[in-house]
Amino acid sequence: MYCDLKTSVARQRLALFNMLVEPMAFVARRCAEAWPERDRLDAILLEGLRTIPHSRYLYALDTDAVQVSSNAAAEGLIGGDFGRDRSQRPYMREPVPEHGLLLSEAYISLRVKRPSLTAVQRIERNGMPIGFLGADFDLRNLPLTREVYREPNRWRQLKGDPAIRGSLFDQQRVESLLDRNIGEVLSVLEELVIASGVFHCKIHFSSSRATIWLMDDPFRYRLLGYEALADPDVCLVYPHHDYPADAAIPAAQIRPILDGFRRLRYADEVIYLRSGSLNIFNGMISLNFSCDGSHYLPHDEFLNPDSPFWQSVG
For residue range 117-149, list pLDDT tens digits in order.
999 999 999 999 999 999 999 888 776 545 554
Work out the average pLDDT over 165-183: 77
Q: What's the pTM value of the predicted model, to 2 decimals?
A: 0.63
Task: Please state, rounded to an integer, the average pLDDT across all residues of the chain.
Answer: 88
**Upper half-sphere CA count for residue 280 (Cβ side, 13 Å):** 27
The fold of 5-141 is: Beta-Lactamase (3.30.450)
* Strands 76-78 and 71-73, sheet pairing: antiparallel
For residue range 10-35, list pLDDT tens digits in order.
777 888 898 899 999 999 999 999 99
Torsion of CA 292, 296, 302, 308, to 10 degrees: -80
pLDDT at position 3 over 50: no
Quote the CA–CA distance of 100 and 93 in Å, as a whole number: 15
Contact by Cβ (8 Å): 24, 55: no
For residue range 78-90, list pLDDT tens digits in order.
999 999 999 999 9
- Give 38-92 as a 3 state SS string: HHHHHHHHHHHHHHCCCCCEEEEEECCCEECCCEEECCEEEHHHCCCECCCCHHH
Domain ranges, ordered by start, for the chain? 5-141, 156-313
